[in-house]
Amino acid sequence: MHIHILGICGTFMGSLAVLAKALGYQVTGSDENVYPPMSTQLEAQGIELQQGYSIEHLQPTPDLIIVGNAMKRGNPAIEYMLNENIPYISGPQWLAEHVLQQRHVLAVAGTHGKTTTASMLAWVLEANGLAPGFLIGGIPQNFAVSSRLGESKYFVIEADEYDCAFFDKRSKFIHYRPRTAILNNLEYDHADIFPNLAAIERQFHHLVRTIPSKGLIIYPNSEKALQRILQMGCWTPIQTTGQGEDWQANLLVADGTKFEVYFQQQLCGIVNWSLTGQHNINNALACIAAAHHINITPEQAINALNQFKNVKRRMEKIAEINEITLYDDFAHHPTAIATTIDGLRKHIGNAQLIVIIEPRSNSMKLGAHKDNLAQSVAQADLVIWYNPANLGWDLTTIAKQCSIPSLVCNSLQAIIEQVKQQAKKGAHIVIMSNGGFGGIHQKLAKALVC
């Protein structure tokens, strides 16, 4: 059976392609934007990629088309698919029907931390001999792939609230039917499909309605939006994380690289790892709680987390050049930007910290987060904003609101020149974008050598 995937280089669809190939299907795909790390992962799996959405990519006719949620009516491939009556399905529905049936699904939902927490959880299961399947919206470095079928009944999935396809506007996670569910946090995002936070909360409550009474929901009790969701109705046992809750942490090092874990006020062990920031401590607590639900002891989970390697593009150190350290990070929401900077600042002390931000997400382009952007970078020493041609609002206003030196650049070369002028020995430079950012990572690394 030949499956063609439209929008194959998205993190979800690319991971789906790997699973379909592992099930024995012939898999091809096309996308408008083909860039690493997903493109290289797919090529390594022997999956044929085609640039763009020409109808020739659908000839000979595939048996089934899996349609990515970025695809819209008017796209030539979509119009050809409909006119020729080619069978089609959304990615989440295909996953539910062909992979998740009869599995114990452990799902990680929330605005922030899904990829990292799902990666932690998959690794904890793997390190304890459970050989889970997983689908994660990034590439966990403990596995070097973003998805696999696995050899046990357990399947870990990053449960995204974004919609499924142009013909299915429900959130993806409605299809997954988890038995163990982590709700990390909830803020307004995805302004292109949700009018307000209440609309997202409604989708999260639809998810809660699918979790069995023999399952488990894990969430931080400090999250007001999640409290509202559960107050709409909950039929599943709950465990909470945070200070004074079922699962809590006690910092031993300010940057979060070492902390004690407590379950119901009993010390379980010490996490000692390379990750920084309170957000990753929160992710770890939820992960340990979820693993405990399937009979992995907190001590076993902690031992695994001490060997955890973070996901690619999550504060990934990509180069050290002339005593300057360069990081790649996926943050594209003010809260994620602020928490990531906070963790690194606590780790590096008073060393120079330069942040480069591409406002690329749909919510960013629509200006949904602009009121909180200036304060999100307050702990950096310098922020450089990339001003793309398609940004629908004035970025220079944000730059003027910043309490730190703030520059706006209209080209990658201008950013690189500013970094070369401003960066001192011992500096830490973080590039934040949820896309390829025109290959600036490699270009900047090369420029710093000179």
In order of their start, the domains of the chain are: 2-90 (3.40.50.720), 102-305 (3.40.1190.10), 316-449 (3.90.190.20)
Question: CA separation (Å) from 360 to 9, 197, 287, 338, 422?
Answer: 16, 21, 29, 17, 24
pLDDT value at residue 136: 93
Residue-wise pLDDT for 314-341, tens only, equals: 778 888 888 899 989 877 788 889 988 9
Mark the ranges of the chain whose per-residue pLDDT is less than 70: 35-37
- What is the C-alpha separation between 242 and 183, in angstroms, rounded? 13
- What is the C-alpha separation between 147 and 310, in angstroms, rounded? 15
- Can you give the pTM of this predicted structure? 0.86
Token pair in block for residue 308? 């955890």
- Backbone phi, psi, residue 258, to 5°: -150, 125
pLDDT value at residue 336: 83
pLDDT value at residue 363: 74
pLDDT value at residue 201: 96
- What is the C-alpha separation between 105 and 87, in angstroms, rounded? 27
Collapsing DSSP to helix, strand or coil, 219 comes out as strand
pLDDT value at residue 77: 97
Collapsing DSSP to helix, strand or coil, 248 comes out as strand
pLDDT value at residue 7: 95
Burial class (CB in 10 A: 0-12, 13-18, 19+), 392: exposed
pLDDT value at residue 415: 93
pLDDT value at residue 223: 92
pLDDT value at residue 89: 98
- What is the C-alpha separation between 290 and 114, in angstroms, rounded? 13
pLDDT value at residue 202: 96
